[in-house]
Amino acid sequence: MNLCLRNPVTCADRSSSLFSALKTSNNKLGTSKFGFLKNPKKNHVVAVRSVSSTAVVEERTKRESGGGESKVYDAIVIGSGIGGLVAATQLAVKEAKVLVLEKYLIPGGSSGYYERDGYTFDVGSSVMFGFSDKGNLNLITQALKAVGREMEVIPDPTTVHFHLPSDLSVQVHREYDEFVNELISKFPHEKEGILGFYGVCWKIFNSLNSLELKSLEEPIYLFGQFFQKPLECLTLAYYLPQNAGDIARKYIKDPQLLSFIDAECFIVSTVNALQTPMINASMVLCDRHYGGINYPVGGVGGIAKSLADGLVDQGSEILYKANVKSIILDDGKAVGVRLADGREFFAKTIISNATRWDTFGKLLKGEKLPKEEENFQKVYVKAPSFLSIHMGVKAEVLPPDTDCHHFVLEDDWKNLEEPYGSIFLSIPTILDPYLAPDGRHILHIFTTSSIEDWEGLTPKEYEAKKEEVAAGIIQRLEKKLFPGLSSSITFKEVGTPRTHRRYLARDKGTYGPMPRGTPKGLLGMPFNTTAIDGLYCVGDSCFPGQGVIAVAFSGVMCAHRVAADIGLERKSKVLDAGLLGLLGWLRTLA
């Protein structure tokens, strides 16, 4: 991890020629202290290398497979989201031969990027947890390191700035003490409650951080961890079936403060605290202060590109424009995949980074839905998708000291979970001004929206509705945060749930699984194995759920389980049967 903040001298040396070229921006960090963090040159090198290696791999794969029929891989990964790429790279470094098949032109899925008119936009993800140089939970840093990559990052001093009803404004500062002191200053009567609730989060985070993270479905590892860290494992087992809202209520009474905890959870789970697993809440509420949120220079898309390049360096392959239409079964075992253009590829194991709904509903269409998947669909429904507005704006519309990430809920807490109720805003150019042309900023605005709202429209009606809904959201931000916003727009592109469905191949454009009712924490979340022999799932419809770091963990777990099953790691058939049976039974309790 190249965290320039820690080493200003070397960073300054490296990019001194660029220093003078720094753009005028509202960068709250200020050029004097942080200006030398920008290194667009380096970033360009990454992009060029990625494009060329992509083309080479595509060509080589075509040649070697002679149409795709002959070669048998250790694993085929369907999709190159961060979940799929982490599973693939982790297997590749264990010397497995992996083929990643991606429907789109570039890797990354929701963590990808796109370029327009001199702007580099993040498709979705922009708040990077697990991307520091500390501890055991920096899974994105570790995944990159495993394939010999590191990225230059820019520390974000404020994870998110909340603008909430009754003019409650809270900045989540990078320093934990600064954050809790600000919260206590708003709710002095709840000092003990605040310290109590966040204290439990730290207890859980520290337990997580003490473990070596691998597959919880692999008994030799799991029992080994229980043996080495019994207290920490018991702590995690205790909190596994619990939700953040219940724990918060043990410490906090003030309804407005409990609503704030709901908002804290909502931004990462799209549900309130009572429905958010305590382990997931603890992970994000602490990592932002422990390792801190760090933004990759050049944009989030660089993470997936670096992983894809690293995969190829390890002798594995990635093929773009490869739309998998079905998983081929032989005697009930997954043995290969068929693409939309008719090509077929075969492997010892198939890992699907498509959602479980897409995997079982589309790629295995016609097969009876296994009982385990029926149970999953009983406990979890598809979360709504997003309406997203990617904009370029004149830099002067942002007041000095504007933060990078904002969450806006204006008048009524009841609107928190309503479609279009709350607004997420990311301004990555606050941290990396080179993502936009001179004198411009990027605003990525998103709000929850369901596909049903966007169906049955003629193309003209669809375009008109996009304009109308986007204008309403922009006006709200204009009123709350940035006067003059509408008239400062220089570029605008609006995406709907239909866009997410089309480009990310996610059923209904869903953000991922959302509990149908009150879940038992993480107990009901399936891991990576499936009822189909040889078929594994990875990504946000697997334990522990949505989030780039969450899917990275899912990728690590998946690679470990697959490696054990294909003989690259130790395994015990007897213990496997016992643990997988036990986990299956535990899920039925959720």
Q: Which residues bind ligand NAD (CB under 6 A)?
A: 78-84, 101-104, 109-111, 124-127, 322-324, 353-354, 358, 504-506, 512, 539-540, 546-548, 551
505 binds, among ligand LYC, ligand NAD, none (CB under 5 to 8 A by kind): ligand NAD
Q: Which stretch binds ligand LYC (CB under 6 A): 209-217, 394-402, 464-472, 562-570?
A: 209-217
**Residue 1 three-state SS:** coil
Residue among 284, 305, 401 at smallest CA distance from 106: 305
Q: To 10 degrees, the CA torsion angle through 533, 537, 543, 548? A: 160
Count the Cβ atoms, other than its own, within 10 Å of residue 455: 11
E strands present in 371-529: 380-382, 385-394, 405-408, 423-426, 440-449, 489-495, 513-515
284 is an interface residue for ligand LYC by CB under 6 A: yes
* 417 phi, psi to nearest 5 deg: -100, 5
553 is an interface residue for ligand LYC by CB under 6 A: yes
Contacts of 295 (CB under 8 A, 6+ apart): 126, 128, 153, 154, 155, 156, 404, 428, 431, 432
392 binds, among ligand LYC, ligand NAD, none (CB under 5 to 8 A by kind): none
286 is an interface residue for ligand LYC by CB under 6 A: no
Contact 465, 447 (CB under 8 A): no
267 is an interface residue for ligand LYC by CB under 6 A: yes
238 is an interface residue for ligand LYC by CB under 6 A: no
283 binds, among ligand NAD, ligand LYC, none (CB under 5 to 8 A by kind): ligand LYC
236 is an interface residue for ligand LYC by CB under 6 A: yes
**Residue 458 three-state SS:** coil
Identify which of residues 1 and 304 has a Cβ nearer to ligand NAD in the complex: 304
| Total number of residues that touch ligand LYC (CB under 6 A) | 31
Contact 208, 236 (CB under 8 A): yes
Query: Binding marks (x or -) toward ligand LYC, 400..439, rule CB under 6 A?
Result: -----x-x----------------xxx-------------
279 is an interface residue for ligand LYC by CB under 6 A: yes
Token duo for residue 115: 């370029």
Please state the closest distance from residue 96 (CB atom) to ligand NAD, in A.
Answer: 19
237 is an interface residue for ligand LYC by CB under 6 A: yes
39 is an interface residue for ligand LYC by CB under 6 A: no
273 is an interface residue for ligand LYC by CB under 6 A: no
Identify which of residues 402 and 546 has a Cβ nearer to ligand LYC in the complex: 546
Contact 470, 387 (CB under 8 A): yes
Identify which of residues 405 and 500 has a Cβ nearer to ligand LYC in the complex: 405
Residue among 452, 445, 499, 448 at smallest CA distance from 476: 445
Q: Which amino acid is at 363?
A: L
82 is an interface residue for ligand LYC by CB under 6 A: no
Please state the closest distance from residue 387 (CB atom) to ligand LYC, in A.
Answer: 14
In the chain, the largest separation of any two C-alpha atoms, in whole Å, equals: 71
Identify which of residues 307 and 485 has a Cβ nearer to ligand NAD in the complex: 307
Residue tagged 């727009």 (tokens):
489
Please state the closest distance from residue 79 (CB atom) to ligand NAD, in A.
Answer: 2
Identify which of residues 84 and 193 has a Cβ nearer to ligand LYC in the complex: 84
Please state the closest distance from residue 535 (CB atom) to ligand NAD, in A.
Answer: 14
Q: Does an H or E element contain 42, and which?
A: helix 40-65
Q: Produce one character per residue of 419-446: b if its CB has 16 or more CB atoms within 10 Å, e if not.
A: eebbbbbbbbbbbbbbbbbeebbbbbbb
Token duo for residue 363: 């790629």
Residue among 257, 288, 132, 281 at smallest CA distance from 201: 281
Please state the closest distance from residue 555 (CB atom) to ligand NAD, in A.
Answer: 7
Cα gap 573→523, rounded to integer Å: 24
204 is an interface residue for ligand LYC by CB under 6 A: no
Among 46, 91, 99, 127, binds ligand LYC (CB under 6 A): 127
The residues of the shown chain that bind ligand LYC, judged by CB under 6 A, are 127, 129, 160, 208, 211, 213, 216, 225, 233, 236-237, 240, 267-268, 279-280, 283-284, 405, 407, 424-426, 544-547, 549-550, 553, 586
